[in-house]
Structure 1
Amino acid sequence: MKKLVIFLGCVFALVACSNEEQVDGLWDDIIKLSTKEVSLAATGGSATITTEGESWWVYGASLDDDIYYYDAVELDLSSAPYTLDEDQFSIERSDLTTIVVSMDANTTGAERTLIVYLEAGDYFDSIKVTQAAN
């Protein structure tokens, strides 16, 4: 009987306690993008997005069904400036708080979607770039 009372007391204590501290892996927004969605004309062009945070990097992008991953071993992605050039788009980190996304003319006949993936520690965000059909 004594063991049952101790066991129930322990269970009650664990259930009744609350942890108000932030759980690891659930960081707040430390990038703070000026916008998360932009539109570009079918003829191509660029969009400039600013951030309040400085400790972020581009870790990937996807253009429709193609996925691109960027490795910090090849380039210090947390520094600036750098440009990630692909066949149909480029992503430039011109300084610590500015990212410029450029796309070539859209000749596919369909709307295209480019998503740029950003990371800052354990916080992840993205910029969706929609390009009109030609």
Structure 2
Amino acid sequence: MEHRYIIIIALFVLVFAGIASCEDIQTETNTDETINLSNNNIELSAKSDSITITSEGAYWWIDHVLSNNEYFAPKLTDIKNSEYHVDGDWFSVKKEGMRTLTIKVKKNTTPYNRKMRISIQSGTHTEQVLINQQGKE
């Protein structure tokens, strides 16, 4: 009978320890998922142009860029300063430092608008930057 109480108490302690350790793991892996971009819908003329966007959060990265149904993956240029860049035939997107995104576009010599979607990610949170460059008149 006494043996049964010892086993029950031991099981209770193991279950409690397992639950407590799971809570510690969850709080340790929580990340600050704040991005809060200063602008996420940008209209540009057909001229060559550049724009700088800032963020409230610092721990984010360029996940990908979509342009004309083409997927562009970022390249890490400076791991120490968390700098990434993506280059396409008519654009360049670069994360400079912890809170700055710079977008450069070449002159649009076609009569058609050019569109791009930049996906920014922090943890499980994602924000999009939509770029529309007008066609030449």
* TM-score, scaled relative to structure 1: 0.69
Query: Residue 106 of structure 1 is aligned with which of 91, 105, 108?
Result: 108
Check 1:31–1:55 CA distance in 2 against 1; reply closer, same or farther (3 A cut): same
Taking the aligned partners of 1:77 and 1:105, their CA distance within structure 2 comes to: 31
> Which digits, 9 at most, give the CA deviation of each residue in 1:35-87, with x for residues without a partner?
1111111012011110000000001001122221236xx65679433432222
Give the aligned residue type for 1:113.
K
Number of residue equivalences: 106
The runs of 5 or more residues in structure 2 that have no matched partner are 1-30
Equivalent residue number for residue 55 of structure 1:
59
Give the aligned residue type for 1:100.
T
Give the aligned residue type for 1:123.
H
Higher relative contact order (CA 8 A, sep 6+): 1
Equivalent residue number for residue 40 of structure 1:
44
Report sequence identity in percent: 25
Q: Is 1:28–1:123's contact at 8 Å kept on the other side of the alignment?
A: no
Query: Residue 128 of structure 1 is aligned with which of 117, 130, 134?
Result: 130
Higher normalized helix content (fraction of residues): 2
Task: Give 1:20-35 correspondences, 5 Å limit.
Answer: 30-35=34-39
Q: Is 1:31–1:51's contact at 8 Å kept on the other side of the alignment?
A: yes
Q: Larger Rg: 1 or 2? A: 2
Check 1:79–1:107 CA distance in 2 against 1; reply closer, same or farther (3 A cut): same
Aligned CA-pair RMSD: 2.3
The runs of 5 or more residues in structure 1 that have no matched partner are 1-26
* TM-score, scaled relative to structure 2: 0.67
Check 1:78–1:111 CA distance in 2 against 1; reply closer, same or farther (3 A cut): farther
Give the aligned residue type for 1:121.
G
Taking the aligned partners of 2:116 and 2:33, their CA distance within structure 1 comes to: 22
Equivalent residue number for residue 19 of structure 1:
none
Taking the aligned partners of 2:69 and 2:80, their CA distance within structure 1 comes to: 26
